[in-house]
């Protein structure tokens, strides 16, 4: 049925050897912008890099994070294991 799924973004972080980082739980986002901002902050170790558009710091050499689109059943959204990291206003408009 249409409307039973959401298009969400999953933050994937891999160690430089391209294996998944152990103990890094799945991080879901309702919008690509939120996921990208979080990814950029982790990759550069600079929480303001995404808002400035540039970082004076070098890229993290230990791991690489990126966002991957996923389809998620609407009933699973904001349940344990599928909590969104977006700010509260974004979550309200997308999920509800």
Please, which residues bridge with residue 29 across strands? 9
Q: What is the CA radius of gyration of the chain?
A: 14
Task: Give the Cα separation of 82 and 15 in Å (integer).
Answer: 23
As a whole number, mean pLDDT of residues 3-15 equals 89
CB atoms within 10 A of CB 8: 24
CB atoms within 10 A of CB 62: 9
pTM over 0.85: no
**pLDDT tens digits, 16-52:** 777 888 788 889 998 998 898 888 888 887 777 777 6
């Amino acid at each position: 049925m249409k409307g039973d799924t959401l298009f969400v973004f999953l933050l994937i972080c891999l160690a430089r050897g391209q294996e998944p980082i152990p103990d890094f739980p799945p991080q879901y986002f309702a919008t690509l912008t939120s996921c990208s901002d979080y990814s950029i902050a982790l990759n550069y170790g600079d929480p303001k890099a995404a808002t400035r558009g540039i970082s004076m710091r070098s890229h993290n050499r230990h791991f690489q994070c990126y966002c991957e689109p996923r389809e998620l059943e609407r009933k699973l959204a904001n349940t344990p294991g599928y909590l969104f990291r977006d700010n509260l206003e974004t979550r309200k408009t997308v999920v509800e």
